[in-house]
Structure 1
């Protein structure tokens, strides 16, 4: 097949993925609308007040009462909070047949959309005859693909049907921006990018951003859930369909624990590649500086999360600040700031 054919097939696969993932989003929303709230707001376990990280890893609340669980989220409580019976609906018989059908259809559509997006990325690689990470359009496709693959893989270990809508929404936003704003035709790489480090450095960077995205989704839901749990009379909220705040926070922390070493490798590999391409490990390029800023912010989050006396709510805000830095690095620095990493293709 010709490059033009590969380009057309890639575009068709991406647009098809967007349509299928949108239908999956609708399915997940229907699921959340139909599944019955299974946790009573009067349950003391649903209102842990403002959690602190205590010395030795034990949890305590601001009123001095001990809380169950450990700082790392190990134990049966975490499994009950975010595991297959997170909503308790199956056990209580409160999950309707319509909800189960909607969730099943949404999951099948998610898998199909993920496969279509993988096909779009592979066909783009066949079109450009290189690793498909040479500009913002390709990076956005790969980032969305890794996010979906991460969600699907995570879903095989625990019931994450409640999380589907909150993952599909940002993925669709990225894909929509990719095809409408960041799309560029196939082009040859700049000389400094013609290295095996493109496959290593940029792939790991993309993967880490995908995992950070899943962590940010869980972090936002945790802050919302925590706010609702602390308010009286919020029993009618759709957030009752989600795991309790403590379980959401542990999920966010788990994702960041995986993503941070990947980003650390990204920064180190970037320095090694810079030495080969430009003769220096560090050139104070805007992308280099922002990559280090992102590393510092997420390191601060992990430090705060493990420090005695820090509220988990405040630590989560630091993590979300790191995600904002990621977005700025990709959507602003890449486009509007001129430097040695000006490879957006726009």
Structure 2
């Protein structure tokens, strides 16, 4: 089947456009992040003083006594008034909303890139590492956008967009493959069933792993008791309890989806190679990732492991999945080696 070069070109253009949109969303999310640091500082300053308009009310001074006696100005450390605080908070939330809109726009354009790639080659667009990583990234962005719609969660976008942009940059440069038919080993109806399921599990696993990483940062820098540089970095993040809940709920979905993908792969292996399981490096690494996600959920429900110990297992599961994605596919020789550069 000849490749439709026009659709292939449109797919590449959509991929590049989505990358630029995600990059702009990252810039806006960083502005939102910094502004939220200021909002939190202002809110805490207001909570520390009964009357926010004046720095010394309650300490025996009247409003007239609160001016700098040498300049006649109100002291610089006075907390913001209600109106000033509302303006600052609205400005921060505006950038958060713009980030959310750009992320959804980027996801739509990115999804168009994936669909056009498939239409150009008349096959499911999961035939090589470029297409596989692109699919994982668009599913991860969509999963994150659905999970963190509320304002308090939007401070997570820089942490989610950075790894997505790194993966997309690597896929679009070092792993890029021209639109072409897949190798004979992948010309099977099992390709969209197996690989798309694994891609979805990996995408949700990325969200879960990053949430656990931020959870560890949060318990190190508790809400309201942040200190130093890392305290300033952690300040806009949700509470440790909420981050842990997001990681746990995401992992609950990751485990069965990833497990289903492994089972479907075993069925495909029996049809293609005459055996369900052969401890191929790809199969082994995938199984280890699944076991680690199961161990995380078990530890998360076990007394004595519900704190940072369980979170470390989730992060290890994510690291194993990334190792499987790159090292096993691109370096290790096995029956899945054709999934590297095509």
TM-score (norm 2): 0.81
CA apart distance, 1:313: 0.3
Q: 1:18: which partner in 2? A: 19
Query: Does structure 2 conserve the Cα–Cα contact (< 8 Å) formed by 1:21 and 1:172?
Result: yes
- Whole-Å Cα distance in 2 between the matches of residues 230 and 23 of structure 1? 29
CA apart distance, 1:190: 2.6
Taking only aligned residues, the RMSD between alpha carbons, in angstroms, comes to 2.4
Q: 1:27: which partner in 2? A: 28
- Whole-Å Cα distance in 1 between the matches of residues 206 and 4 of structure 2? 33
Query: Does structure 1 conserve the Cα–Cα contact (< 8 Å) formed by 2:223 and 2:235?
Result: no
Gaps in structure 2 of 5+ consecutive residues: 48-84
Q: 1:77: which partner in 2? A: none
The reply to whether residue 194 of structure 1 matches residue 187 of structure 2 is yes
Alignment of 1:56-75 (within 5 A): none
Aligned length: 298
Q: Which runs of 4+ in 1 moved over 4 A?
A: 38-41, 92-95, 156-159, 230-233
Q: 1:222: which partner in 2? A: 215
Q: 2:106: which partner in 1? A: 113
- Whole-Å Cα distance in 2 between the matches of residues 295 and 138 of structure 1? 23
Alignment of 1:89-238 (within 5 A): 93=86, 96-156=89-149, 159-229=152-222, 234=227, 237-238=232-233
Query: Does structure 2 conserve the Cα–Cα contact (< 8 Å) formed by 1:37 and 1:238?
Result: no
Which moves more between the two structures, 231-240 or 121-130?
231-240
Alignment of 1:264-279 (within 5 A): 264-279=259-274
**SS in structure 2 at match of 1:104:** helix
Q: 1:312: which partner in 2? A: 307
CA apart distance, 1:126: 1.2
**SS in structure 1 at match of 2:289:** helix
**SS in structure 2 at match of 1:241:** coil
Gaps in structure 1 of 5+ consecutive residues: 44-91
- Whole-Å Cα distance in 2 between the matches of residues 312 and 199 of structure 1? 38
Larger C-alpha radius of gyration, 1 or 2?
2
1:78-117, Cα deviation, whole Å (9 max, x unpaired): xxxxxxxxxxxxxx85852321221122112111111110
Q: 1:240: which partner in 2? A: 235
CA apart distance, 1:156: 4.2
Alignment of 1:16-55 (within 5 A): 16-35=17-36, 36-37=39-40
Q: 2:293: which partner in 1? A: 298
CA apart distance, 1:149: 1.2
Query: Does structure 2 conserve the Cα–Cα contact (< 8 Å) formed by 1:222 and 1:248?
Result: yes
Query: Does structure 2 conserve the Cα–Cα contact (< 8 Å) formed by 1:9 and 1:120?
Result: yes
CA apart distance, 1:231: 10
Taking a change above 3 Å as real, the CA distance of residues 216 and 22 of structure 1, as seen in their structure-2 partners, is same
